[in-house]
Amino acid sequence: KNEVEQSPQNLTAQEGEFITINCSYSVGISALHWLQQHPGGGIVSLFMLSSGKKKHGRLIATINIQEKHSSLHITASHPRDSAVYICAVRVTTSGSRLTFGEGTQLTVNP
Amino acid sequence: NAGVTQTPKFRVLKTGQSMTLLCAQDMNHEYMYWYRQDPGMGLRLIHYSVGEGTTAKGEVPDGYNVSRLKKQNFLLGLESAAPSQTSVYFCASSIGVLNIQYFGAGTRLSVL
């Protein structure tokens, strides 16, 4: 079983919908990252969080340390949000390493 | 600032050939990383460096070597390419181990 599991693997939404992507992990972590991979392949870090909630524009990331679960929410989704969203965790015993989920492919249709 | 720059963007090799991928960052970051991305799998760490002159093995280091002679550059070498090394390779850098990582645009490598 992977240490980081994302759901769903694929998600299709209509423009304007509220979107939730989930990330569950099975190990102790010091931080969790959310990244976005554009259709062209480039990867951008969206959030790094170790507790609570962070917001940037229409994106909101939350983490529940006790439940070992994080969610990425997108409000008022837009076709330009179409991308792969990747969850990654810094395992407490792994030093500098991040362990990545397989990603969630999001498609937002106009 | 260019951020993190990878060269080349694409490359096709024959089995047994060698090549070097170059990663350059202009953000004065201490930490640099090489990852590979394969279908159906998350990014996997090949090697990383915590500062100039240092390197360390990641999750999948076999078949690769790295060097960090200058702080801004991190080189990934394939001495004898194998079809299993067909992948997309990403370089990343960060100020410190607890900071976000900035990624390059990736190198798509095919080994025939």
Identify the pLDDT of residue B96.
86
Q: What is the pLDDT of residue A2?
A: 81
How many CA within 13 A on the CB side of residue B68?
Answer: 22
Q: How many C-beta neighbours within 10 Å does residue A29 have?
A: 23
Nearest-Cα residue of chain A relative to residue B45: A97
Q: In the prediction, which pLDDT does A39 show? A: 83
CA dihedral (A11, A53, B103, A27) positive or negative: negative
- Nearby residues of A97 by Cβ (< 8 Å), 6 or more positions away: A90, A91, B45, B48, B58, B59
Interface contact A31, partner B, CB < 8 A? yes
Reported as a single tens digit per residue, the pLDDT across A65-110 is: 999 999 999 999 999 999 999 999 998 887 768 899 999 999 999 9
Query: Rounded to a whole number, what is the distance in Å from the CA of B18 to chain A's nearest CA?
Result: 24
Name the 3-class secondary structure at A44.
strand
Cβ–Cβ gap B58/A33 under 8 Å: no
- The mean pLDDT of chain A is 93
| Band of pLDDT at residue A1, cut at 50, 70 and 90 | low
pLDDT at B23: 97
pLDDT per residue as tens digits for the range A15-29: 999 999 999 999 999
Q: Does A96 sit within 8 Å of B42, measured CB to CB?
A: no
The span from the CA of B98 to the CA of A33, in Å, is 11
Of the candidates A8, A4, A48, which has an alpha carbon nearest to the alpha carbon of residue A25? A4
Q: Looking at residue B103, what is its pLDDT?
A: 96
Question: How do residues B13-69 score in pLDDT, each as one tens digit?
Answer: 999 999 999 999 999 999 999 999 998 888 999 999 999 999 999 999 999 999 999
Would the CB atoms of B45 and A30 count as touching at under 8 Å?
Answer: no
Instruction: List the one residue out of B67, B93, B63, B65 whose CA is nearest residue B80.
Output: B63
Secondary structure of residue A20 in the 3-state scheme: strand
Is B103 within 8 Å of A95 when comparing Cβ atoms?
Answer: no
Over range A43-61, report the average pLDDT: 95
Judge contact between B90 and B103, C-beta under 8 A: yes
Q: Is A49 exposed, middle or buried (0-12, 13-18, 19+ CB in 10 A)?
A: middle
